[in-house]
Structure 1
Amino acid sequence: MAQSIEPNIAELGNQWLKSYKLSYKLEQESINAEIDKALFDYFTKNGGAGANRPDVKILLQDKNLNFYPILIEYKGYKNSLVKLDVNNQVENRTAKNDPHFKNINSFAVNGAVHYANALLHHTSYTDIISIGMTGYKDESGKIIHKIGVYFVSKSNFGVGQKVGEFSDFSFLAPKNFDAFIEKVKTLSLTQAEIDKLKEQREKEIDTSLVKLNNDIYQNEKGLGENDRVYLVAASIIATIGIPGKVATLEKSDLKSSTEIGNKDGDIIVRKIKAFLDAKEIPSEKKDLILRTLQNTLTTENINKVINGESQLKRVFSKIVDDLGIYYKIGLTTDFTGKLFNEMYGWLGFSQDKLNDVVLTPSYVAALLVKLARVNKDSFVWDFATGSAGLLVAAMNEMLTDAKNTITSPEELAQKEIKIKAEQLLGLELLSSVYMLAILNMILMGDGSSNILNKDSLIDFDGNYGFGKTNNKFPADAFILNPPYSANGNGMNFVEKALGMMNKGYAAIIIQSSAGSGKAKEYCKSILEKNTLIASIKMPIDIFIGKSSVQTNIYVFKVNEKHHKDEMVKFIDFSNDGYTRTNRRKASNNLKDTKQAKERYEEVINLVRFGKSKLEIFTEKEYHEATIDPKNGADWNQTSAIDTKPSLQDFKKTIGDYLTWEVSTILKNQNTDTLGK
């Protein structure tokens, strides 16, 4: 095997840096405490001594006074610059979503991107430049070098994007750096790339949540299920921080002291209070959050110090190490929904009770949002909000629409604030689940203003919960996955919500029996003022591992009475293109095996535009028919099967029979011949 020329490559690179008069730090040298600590902390998580020592570290400032950490990794072999996966992304994860240590250690760019993720995870820096450089000597002894320059940022979920082709480091020289940063800023991902990266990161979140929950469940005794949920919520809130106002809580800030008022729990409570104060959360809501979290954080057992460490500090450290990067890179995902499903997966719920805490998978949430025709100007509410997964999906749709249609950056920024503060409203009665909804919306950049801890059927008057508390929330989109144990399988929520709306659309996923007789009176009442546009039969295993009830999605036009001649679109979506498994250790329990994304898109188009959009589906799965608005039990129709045989069927049957007859005669002849 060829000899590594890493020392020569390092010398070449460092000479360039010296010639540009840059203040660079080598492997063992300190650049600043925050970066040093991040590299150290990340190293303890991934194992292997000395795993996080970039060959060179530099901190540069652009003309807008923004700081950019530059991390350089040298290698000394011909083909050790970068290892990409099939999607052309830096391959730092295995198929099982574990760190790909072989690639991280063997390839210069992969190593530099790994270090950048340490900074995304543990520091306030959100934009980092990762540089890999390697090379070899040709036959004449001349050094041939190659450079890879990647931008690793919150905006690309820490995966990294190639900036361009470079033959030296002069782009870092003071006179060129601003132009380089301008180039970096023009790097943008297509929506398809963003979706793919999000999908990839979401799988990683699932893996990390399973690992974390397993660890806490098996190794941390005395913590009830709600305690686990509250500890994760508290740890995340304490470590988000607000630039310039509230510093993030570090693991080292927890001293495991036994001093009254200064125990680890007290320190976390103070940090959460500072965060909520700076966020200007309404005092009633702030008090409820603090009270709820305080009950878990200040208990004696969790703060008891054994071998110099409290259980609280140990659990806090695990949470920050396993999950920190995912909520810091700003994934617009139902993060706490995933957390909730994972946490509750360990509980010994009976099947009936379990059905009541089942959260909507994100791809179904996105379908409901599109069926309810949500756009940037919608006002969306959910009367049984759970972890706010449906509202997160609605918010994502609204923000994407705003981004695609508003060209003024200033106007867009104002619209994004308005969407989060004024255009979403959710109600959740269960206090443990309500806490998750609040946390979810805080993580999403704060649409938590109008998440209310109220009984939507009894205590809700239709007004805003914060800000314009005397004004009605002007809802024009309703999305819902109700608790199926409620009256009429949850149709009581639908009747109440639609009765408070003047216009718009609604999409709900509910137990199918609600539309075939179980909620007859509610269904009749709803159709007196609203039109049923579509009834979609969903796959039986959509909530696999949580519940096996048959569900339907019903889509309504609000405040327009259903006429008996109205055509309803009936869609059998039993085959949605996904294959689901329920294996706890599987890296991916959801696989797109039959054009799932295209099928979901087609269902949206069929509901909106009708039969002309049939492509993948046939008239066996799609038909239009009327219902009797005074019946209330005829919402789940299927395509009529024509049992009368056609001439073609007759010909086929005769053909099949003749084929069988001939093959039998030939077989008998063969037997006779063999017998002779």
Structure 2
Amino acid sequence: MKGKKIAQSIEPNIADLANGWLKSDKLPYKLEQETVNTEIDKALSDYFTKNGGTGANRPDAKILLQDKNLDFFPILIEYKGYKDKLVKLDANKQVENRTNKNEPHFKNINSYAVNGAVHYANALLHHTNYTDIIAIGMTGYKDDTGKIHHEIGVYYVSKSNLGAGQKIDEYSDFSFLVPKNFDAFIEKVKTLQLSQEELDKLKEQREREIDQSLVKLNNDIYQNEKGLGENDRVYLVAASIIATLGIPGKVTPLEKSDLRSSTEKGNKDGDIIVRKIKSFLEEKDIPSEKKNLILRTLENTLTTENINKVENGESQLKRVFTKIVDDLGIYYKIGLTTDFTGKLFNEMYGWLGFSQDKLNDVVLTPNYVASLLVKLARVNKDSYVWDFATGSAGLLVAAMNEMLNDAKNNITSPQELTQKEIKIKAEQLLGLELLSSVYMLAILNMILMGDGSSNILNIDSIKDFDGKYGFGKTDSKFPADAFILNPPYSALGNGMNFVEKALGMMNRGYGAIIIQNSSGSGKAIDFNKRILAKHTFLASIKMPVDIFIGKSSVNTNIYVFKVNEKHHKDDIVKFIDFTNDGYTRSNRKKASNNLKDTNQAKERYEEVVNLVRFGKSKLNIFTEREYYEGTIDPNNGADWNQTAPSDTKPNIHDFKKTVSDYLSWEINTLLKQNTFEQELGK
């Protein structure tokens, strides 16, 4: 029996065919070892390779083209020589370059032409200022007659699709790159848009990757970099990211090669990073008081002697900086609007056993819960949103995302949209945080997310806040019409003091808070009665007990309010048992994903929002055992956590079942008795 014939790669033939097109069309292509420019070469060298190492990412061909607007587009081309080796997609029809564990899928990156090209494109997103890249894969085979058959995949990899890559169209050759066709090709590229659902799936995937990268990074620093406390680690990540963000045309991003581990006074690695951060903050037009606070805080960590001490030609600071940029760079370069420092904060402090520490009072809201609060507070592009205990600004980030999405979906003029986005970030968000270390995180978070940091204030929201803007229109009242909150547990009434003050400073709108549910059953009676005398209580949502897993197992409810309308005893309140929210949570240190959608979680969260807003007609997944419309006594203040009453009156079905159970028992007893008597009579 003959062995199975193994197909031979015809990659040289495919390369010869494709490069022949490029040559005849007089395109300025460069082959594997050739240079396009130092920025692209360096990015490919710095990025992890198709085998997981560094230093040898070499696309088979590279071109840098300009369109009619003089914008540059790197084109990266990868050849293969087998049938069916063009592209490997995942279940969501995305280029599958990550495994289920959110690790690089080296087999796919190595074996498939498009996957390899998209991998190279991500190197440029990570390490250059290019934000729009064309990734081309081409493969083929010879049929029985020796004729070559080829296929081409052309994908767009950019900030807008979070580096995932989108198929542009079907092509049989490379003539779309020829100057006379290139502008039309780029116009087609610019019309590509991911649906909101596709974008949401990608964001989720990227956020899981961020979690994994943060765990890996923190574990690495924790185990291998001695002498760095938890605050140092947080500040080093923040400083490294700010230094590498850059501002196009004004501040060049700091490169790893800029840190030379010099011992010269004023020119140590820490001094260089501080200068870069200074330049960045100057251009950002941040209030000087805030700017000085950021610099002071980061400088304390960056300029210490130990971290700048040079051993074996390298400082600890450069080593840590390199790890941070390599592990996290892609995520903030692609402009992912997530609660980045919130994730960072949770991960860093997750390594500490601070159960007896006062910091245990700072429990950050998971982003899917933050998004729920934002929707319950009816946030839209025109909202003015504030948070009186802002933590790392996770709730404000969620609000900002909702506002920006609403603006994008409803404003058709690009110029008007740009102005609205600026206004949202500068004027429509306000956060208050008393703890200075957490306040620093909130500022850094909003800077990293596109800079909504203008009105994040480091003051006591109960004692010192007068309702005015902290920056810009400092003489004007902030016209809040949406209030979101996750208060510290130790505050008066479990935090209802924040609610009373915030709602009392609003003229209209809605509030949504997540709070210990004992505040609605007796711990905050006086606060609650005063709140109900001015505002309507719309809904009480009982949340899963493990929502803050790893931080706290406290019982929480979300309470929703309508501002400036007194609560009447006959007002209908929606009570929802949301203890089954569809997610399964775990708290395993090395797990790639501690949050799994195991029972229609997304749909359940959406249904809760609709039930609160529209009532019983929106019941679908939930039943009337979990959804109950009732009333509360405005003079009680301890009846906010009701559940659907169970019907104790028996019906005909209950009667039949009882009779059936009795007869069954009677027959069993008789049978056993007969058997016993027979046994005796033997």
In the superposition, the TM-score normalised over structure 1's length comes to 0.97
Contact 2:78 2:137 in 1 (8 A): yes
Q: Aligned ranges for residues 164-313 of structure 1 at < 5 Å?
A: 164-313=169-318
Q: CA deviation at 1:656?
A: 3.3
Contact 2:493 2:519 in 1 (8 A): yes
Contact 2:50 2:116 in 1 (8 A): no
Aligned to 2:531: 526
Counterpart-to-counterpart distance in 2, 1:416 and 1:10: 46
Letter in 2 for 1:643: T
Counterpart-to-counterpart distance in 2, 1:101 and 1:589: 24
2:362 alignment partner, one of 357, 364, 370: 357
Aligned to 2:79: 74
Deviation digits for residues 449-505 of structure 1, max 9, x if unmatched?
A: 111111111221111011101100000100000111111111111111111111111
Q: Classify 1:474/1:142 alpha carbon distance in 2 versus 1 (closer, same or farther; 3 Å).
A: same
Deviation digits for residues 242-292 of structure 1, max 9, x if unmatched?
A: 000000000000011111100101000000000000111111110111011
Is it true that 1:160 corresponds to 2:165 in the alignment?
A: yes
1:346 alignment partner, one of 345, 351, 369: 351
Counterpart-to-counterpart distance in 2, 1:139 and 1:494: 77
Q: Classify 1:176/1:646 alpha carbon distance in 2 versus 1 (closer, same or farther; 3 Å).
A: same
Q: CA deviation at 1:565?
A: 2.2
Contact 1:108 1:134 in 2 (8 A): yes
1:147 alignment partner, one of 143, 152, 160: 152
Q: Classify 1:254/1:45 alpha carbon distance in 2 versus 1 (closer, same or farther; 3 Å).
A: farther
Q: Classify 1:45/1:71 alpha carbon distance in 2 versus 1 (closer, same or farther; 3 Å).
A: closer
1:436 alignment partner, one of 432, 441, 449: 441
Letter in 1 for 2:19: N
Q: CA deviation at 1:182?
A: 0.8
Letter in 2 for 1:470: D
Contact 1:509 1:551 in 2 (8 A): yes
Counterpart-to-counterpart distance in 2, 1:411 and 1:20: 41
Q: CA deviation at 1:658?
A: 3.3
Q: Classify 1:389/1:197 alpha carbon distance in 2 versus 1 (closer, same or farther; 3 Å).
A: same
Aligned residues, how many?
675
Gaps of 5+ in 1: none
Counterpart-to-counterpart distance in 1, 2:54 and 2:307: 31
Deviation digits for residues 34-85 of structure 1, max 9, x if unmatched?
A: 1111011103796346641111111000001000000000111112111111
Aligned to 1:460: 465
Q: Classify 1:48/1:322 alpha carbon distance in 2 versus 1 (closer, same or farther; 3 Å).
A: closer
Is it true that 1:645 corresponds to 2:645 in the alignment?
A: no
RMSD: 1.7
Counterpart-to-counterpart distance in 2, 1:507 and 1:160: 37
Q: CA deviation at 1:564?
A: 2.1
Aligned to 1:503: 508
Contact 2:44 2:55 in 1 (8 A): no
What secondary structure, in the 3-state scheme, does the structure 1 residue paired with 2:160 have? Answer: helix
Is it true that 1:389 corresponds to 2:385 in the alignment?
A: no
Q: Classify 1:153/1:505 alpha carbon distance in 2 versus 1 (closer, same or farther; 3 Å).
A: same
Q: Aligned ranges for residues 262-661 of structure 1 at < 5 Å?
A: 262-350=267-355, 353=358, 355-659=360-664, 661=666
Aligned to 2:26: 21
Aligned to 1:97: 102
Counterpart-to-counterpart distance in 2, 1:322 and 1:649: 62
What secondary structure, in the 3-state scheme, does the structure 1 residue paired with 2:378 have? Answer: coil
Q: Classify 1:62/1:289 alpha carbon distance in 2 versus 1 (closer, same or farther; 3 Å).
A: same
Deviation digits for residues 409-447 of structure 1, max 9, x if unmatched?
A: 211111111111100000111122112111111122111
Counterpart-to-counterpart distance in 1, 2:393 and 2:564: 25
2:113 alignment partner, one of 108, 112, 116: 108
Counterpart-to-counterpart distance in 2, 1:50 and 1:70: 20
Deviation digits for residues 171-218 of structure 1, max 9, x if unmatched?
A: 111111111111111111111101111111111111101000111111
Counterpart-to-counterpart distance in 2, 1:202 and 1:488: 34
Deviates more, 1:554-563 or 1:258-267: 554-563
Counterpart-to-counterpart distance in 1, 2:65 and 2:672: 85
Letter in 2 for 1:503: R
Counterpart-to-counterpart distance in 1, 2:50 and 2:551: 32
What secondary structure, in the 3-state scheme, does the structure 2 residue paired with 1:156 have? Answer: coil
Counterpart-to-counterpart distance in 2, 1:134 and 1:413: 42
Gaps of 5+ in 2: 1-5
